[in-house]
Structures are given as C-alpha cells and as structure tokens.
C-alpha cells in the first residue's frame, strides 16, 4: 500500500511539472519600456524609444523625450533590446491540434461536407503544450482555423494566453472557410509510394452544390430574422454584408481566378485567398480585384518542376511590391508556427529589401486582413499593449531571443516544454549553464 501511495505521489509530481504556466494576471500598474529600438509595425523604427501602457492599452509611443509619470509607473530599461508588436499567425490549427497520431487531441474538423455552422472558437485548447512554444518566439495572436469538408466552418482570432477560450478570444467568428474544388487532385500510390496529379472528376458537381448553397444563403440573408432559424445559413449571413471574410483555400492559378469570380458572383463582400502557391501567375487579377492573400508555409520546395527553386521565398515580395495585401502562415504544420517570424526573415532576403516591410507580413498586414487592425498589429497609441521584447532581430533565428511578452498589458510567463526539456537534459549531461549566460 505504501509503495502504491509513493507511486501516486511521483506521478502527481511529474504531472504538475509538465503543466503549462498559469495565464498572466491583468495589468495593475502603468508600465514603461524605455531605451530599446521600437519596431512600430508600419515601417517606422524609433531608436532609443519609449512605450507606455496602462490597463492593457498603449498610452504613449515615442522617443526618449516622451513624458510619463515615473513615480507611478513600473519602468524597464531595455538598452540594446528590440520591441515588436505581437506577431499574428493567420490560418492556423494551433490550439486545435496537439499530437497528430492521437485522434483525441485533434479537433480541427467535423464530419460532413457543408459545415458552415461549425465554430473553431469553442474547440480552442488553451492548455495546449504547443501554444507556449510559439509564444516564446513572439507569436501572441493566432487564428484558430477549421478544416475539412468543402465549407469547413468559422474561424476565430485568439490570444496565446488565457484560462479558457472565453478568456483567449480577441475576435469571435471572423470568417468562414471554403476549400475550393481544385481543377487537379493529388493521388498517392500505396504500392510504390509515388504521388501524382489527375483531373478532378467531381469538381463540377462540387461547384454546383456550392452555388446552390450560396444562393440559398444569399436569399436567407435578405431577411432580418428567420423563424425557424437555419443555423448553417445563419452562419453565412455576414458574408453578404461584409461583416465576415470568406477565406478560400486555393493554390493553382486557375483555381484562384475561378474562386474569386465565384465569390463575386455570389455577392460575397470580402474574399481572401489562402494558400496561393501560384499567386504570382495571377498578380494582375488579384490586384484588379483587391484580393488579400494569406500565403502558406514558405520554407518548402516549389509547387511545379518548372518553377524557380527560390519561388516560395520570393513570392511574398512579388505580391507585396505589386500592391497586394499579403500575409504569411503555417496552415498545416501547427507545431512549426514558432518559426513564423523566420518566414518573414526569409522573405526579407528574397525580394523584400526593407526588413520593416517584411515585418508587416506577420503584423500589420495580418491584422488588416482579419479586421483587427484597430486593436493590434502596430504599436500605436490607443491600441492594445500586445508586444514583446527580443534580445535581437526577431526575424533572425540566431538573434530572436524573446525576453518579455505582454498580451493586453499582461506580463506573460515565457516558460514552455522546450525550455523544461533543455533544463532537464542539461542536468543529465552536466553541461548546465546559468540562464543569464545563455541569453
């Protein structure tokens, strides 16, 4: 009996060790960060800058002469450090997936084809071990995105800190997700493990179903209220008023053009292309129709054999220079979302000369696309104090060491599983160095 009791205590201690840190408490005193380099997020840089925030809202941003009440403010001197707006990860399944091979931890899709009434919001798991790991590279806001089916459901924009989804939500049900039926479909041969492309024979049928669904939703939206309420059509109402985005997953140039034409024909006010591997082929069309693009993971091989090997790296710059509102994402590999700032860093080296322009790809641009630019995305007076302090350039994996992070003014704990494992095995192999030295 004693042995069993001891075992229970050991297991309990291991379990408590593995828990994520408690969410940060609300800001109770004004905070001033002084002496650092402020990257505003709109292209502006303030050397030896000062940023002050109170009750989660930025009250002042400027140079070293910016006045504030030093007697009643907690002051942090950050000489040599860099301050950035919290990075934003659109089109993500962070918080919806944990371990791909464990079905019980995967909650990003529902059974069925037309799931417009599905909400990713209530599936967002604030206890995820992945969330603190992305927070440690400055990703403080993520868009919980549903997948599966043809119409996947609604996404919501979440903070990477909170006790539950009610605490974490920044903007609920910001848009509906549509998987556009592709002209080509991929097939995989299990015998020789080869992959190839073939014409999608079910494409026309799928588009016909979508046209009927959107026509019904359009007609339904013309009534101010419906009795009885149709939950699937009610969820689509905002598409026709501009209250919600329609995020369309499409990669091939032909699919991008047809998907946008479909959205316009159906009366959708705010379509957004997600994926966009071949967006460079339809730049003029995207510009003419004022279509934002959320690009998929850029650290990859080209989509076509005849493409430039550097095309995934250059694509953000091509679109940005053409005047298209573009953002970066990790839609499939949620656990790699921590590398989001380095996608922007790669874009800076392959087509976007100005690193501040590259920063927009994961801050201001993402906020504009998702309709939260009045709250976050840049460090400006009146916006939420969601920001972080890095030892060096946040877009460079060699120097991005996040030392402090604030979400709505709350000082967030930066512990995570990666750090705990680092400490554990440093102990085992006897090479442990003080944390201050590693920084």
Note the pLDDT tens digit of each residue in 123-174.
999 999 999 999 999 999 999 999 999 999 999 999 999 999 999 999 999 9
Give the separation between CA 106 and CA 120, rounded to whole angstroms. Answer: 12
Does the N-terminal peptide bond of residue 214 adopt cis geometry, omega within 30 degrees of 0?
A: no
Note the pLDDT tens digit of each residue in 282-316.
999 999 999 999 999 889 888 888 888 999 999 99
Q: Which of 56-60, 301-305, 380-384 has the lowest mean pLDDT?
A: 301-305
Say yes or no to pLDDT of 46 above 90: yes
What pLDDT, on the 0 to 100 scale, is given for residue 202? 85
Residue 362: left if φ>0, alpha if ψ -120 to 50, beta else—which one? Answer: alpha
Say yes or no to pLDDT of 64 above 60: yes
Question: Is residue 432 exposed (0-12), middle (13-18) or buried (19+ Cβ within 10 Å)?
Answer: middle
Domain edges within the chain: 21-86+377-439, 87-373
Q: Which of 12-21, 49-58, 277-286 has the lowest mean pLDDT?
A: 12-21
**144 within 8 A of 96, measured Cβ to Cβ:** yes
239 or 191: whose pLDDT is higher?
Answer: 239
Say yes or no to pLDDT of 5 above 50: no
| Mean pLDDT of the 15-29 span | 78
What pLDDT, on the 0 to 100 scale, is given for residue 305? 83
Say yes or no to pLDDT of 74 above 80: yes
Give the separation between CA 28 and CA 414, rounded to whole angstroms. Answer: 19
Q: What is the C-alpha R_g of the chain?
A: 23
What pLDDT, on the 0 to 100 scale, is given for residue 353? 64
If pLDDT is split at 50, 70 and 90, which confidence band does 10 have? very low
303 or 213: whose pLDDT is higher?
Answer: 213
Q: Among 173-182, 195-204, 227-236, 352-361, name the most confident range.
A: 173-182
CATH number of the 21-86+377-439 domain: 2.30.40.10
| Mean pLDDT of the 17-21 span | 68
What pLDDT, on the 0 to 100 scale, is given for residue 117? 95
What pLDDT, on the 0 to 100 scale, is given for residue 191? 74
Give the relative orientation of helices 340-349 and 311-321 as an angle to the nearest 10 degrees.
80
What pLDDT, on the 0 to 100 scale, is given for residue 433? 61
What pLDDT, on the 0 to 100 scale, is given for residue 228? 84
CATH number of the 87-373 domain: 3.20.20.140
Q: HEC string of 344-375? A: HHHHHHCCCCCHHHHHHCCCHHHHHHHCCCCC
* DSSP β-ladder status, 387-390 and 82-85: antiparallel
Phi, psi (5° rounding) for residue 158? -125, 150
How much of the chain, in percent, has pLDDT values that exceed 90?
A: 75
| Mean pLDDT of the 118-126 span | 96
Say yes or no to pLDDT of 197 above 90: no
If pLDDT is split at 50, 70 and 90, which confidence band does 18 have? low
Give the separation between CA 137 and CA 33, rounded to whole angstroms. Answer: 19
Say yes or no to pLDDT of 318 above 70: yes
What pLDDT, on the 0 to 100 scale, is given for residue 431? 66
- What rounded mean pLDDT belongs to the chain? 90
If pLDDT is split at 50, 70 and 90, which confidence band does 434 have? low
Say yes or no to pLDDT of 178 above 70: yes
Give the separation between CA 314 and CA 346, rounded to whole angstroms. Answer: 8
Q: Please identify which residue in the block is written with the tokens 């990713």.
A: 120
Say yes or no to pLDDT of 187 above 80: no
What pLDDT, on the 0 to 100 scale, is given for residue 195? 67
Give the separation between CA 399 and CA 393, rounded to whole angstroms. Answer: 6
Full DSSP string of 169-230? EEEEEEEEEEE---SEEEEEETTTTEEEEEE-TTHHHHHHHHHHHHHHHHHHHTSS--SS--
Closest to 61 in 3D by CA, of 363, 371, 378: 378
Full DSSP string of 233-295? HHTTGGGGTTSSEEEEEE-SHHHHHHHHHHHHHTT-S-EEEEE-TTGGGGHHHHHHTT--EEE
Note the pLDDT tens digit of each residue in 253-285.
999 999 999 999 999 999 999 999 999 999 999
Q: Which of 257-261, 348-352, 384-388 has the lowest mean pLDDT?
A: 348-352
319 or 20: whose pLDDT is higher?
Answer: 319
If pLDDT is split at 50, 70 and 90, which confidence band does 351 have? confident
């Amino acid at each position: 009996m004693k042995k069993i009791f001891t075992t229970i205590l050991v297991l309990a201690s291991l379990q408590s060790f593995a828990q994520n840190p408690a969410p940060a408490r609300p800001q109770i005193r004004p905070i001033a960060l002084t002496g650092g380099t402020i990257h505003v997020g709109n292209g502006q840089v303030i050397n030896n800058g000062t940023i002050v925030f109170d009750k989660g809202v930025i009250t002042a941003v400027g140079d070293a002469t910016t006045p504030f009440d030093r007697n009643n403010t907690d002051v942090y001197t950050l000489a040599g450090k860099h301050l950035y707006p919290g990075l934003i990860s659109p089109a993500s399944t962070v918080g919806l997936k944990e371990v791909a091979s464990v079905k019980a931890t995967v909650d990003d899709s529902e059974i069925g084809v037309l799931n417009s009434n599905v909400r990713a919001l209530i599936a967002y798991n604030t206890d995820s071990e992945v969330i603190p790991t992305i927070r440690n590279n400055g990703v403080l806001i993520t868009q919980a995105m549903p997948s599966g089916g043809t119409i996947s459901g609604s996404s919501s924009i979440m903070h990477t800190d909170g006790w539950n989804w009610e605490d974490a939500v920044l903007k609920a049900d910001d848009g509906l997700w549509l998987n556009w039926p592709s002209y080509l479909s991929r097939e995989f041969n299990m015998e020789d493990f080869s992959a190839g492309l073939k014409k999608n024979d079910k494409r026309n049928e799928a588009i016909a179903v979508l046209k009927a669904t959107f026509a019904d939703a359009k007609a339904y939206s013309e009534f101010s209220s419906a009795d009885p309420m149709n939950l699937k059509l009610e969820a689509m109402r905002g598409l026709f008023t501009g209250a919600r985005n329609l995020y369309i997953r499409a990669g091939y140039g032909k699919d991008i053009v047809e998907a946008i034409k479909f959205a316009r024909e159906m009366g959708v006010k705010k379509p957004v292309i997600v994926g966009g591997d071949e967006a460079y082929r339809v730049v003029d069309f995207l510009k003419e129709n004022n279509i934002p693009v959320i690009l998929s993971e850029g650290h990859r091989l080209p989509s076509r054999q005849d493409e430039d090997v550097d095309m995934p790296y250059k694509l953000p710059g091509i679109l940005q220079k053409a005047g298209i509102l573009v953002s970066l994402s990790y839609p499939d590999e949620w656990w790699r979302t921590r590398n989001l700032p380095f996608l922007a860093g790669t874009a800076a080296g392959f087509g976007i000369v100005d690193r501040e322009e590259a920063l927009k790809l994961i801050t201001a641009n993402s906020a504009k696309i998702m309709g939260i630019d009045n709250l976050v995305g840049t460090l400006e007076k009146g916006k939420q104090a969601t920001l972080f302090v890095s030892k060096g350039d946040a877009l460079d994996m060699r120097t991005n060491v996040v030392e402090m992070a604030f979400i709505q003014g709350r000082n967030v704990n930066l512990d995570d599983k990666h750090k705990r494992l680092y400490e554990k095995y440093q102990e085992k192999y006897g090479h442990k160095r003080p944390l201050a030295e590693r920084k």
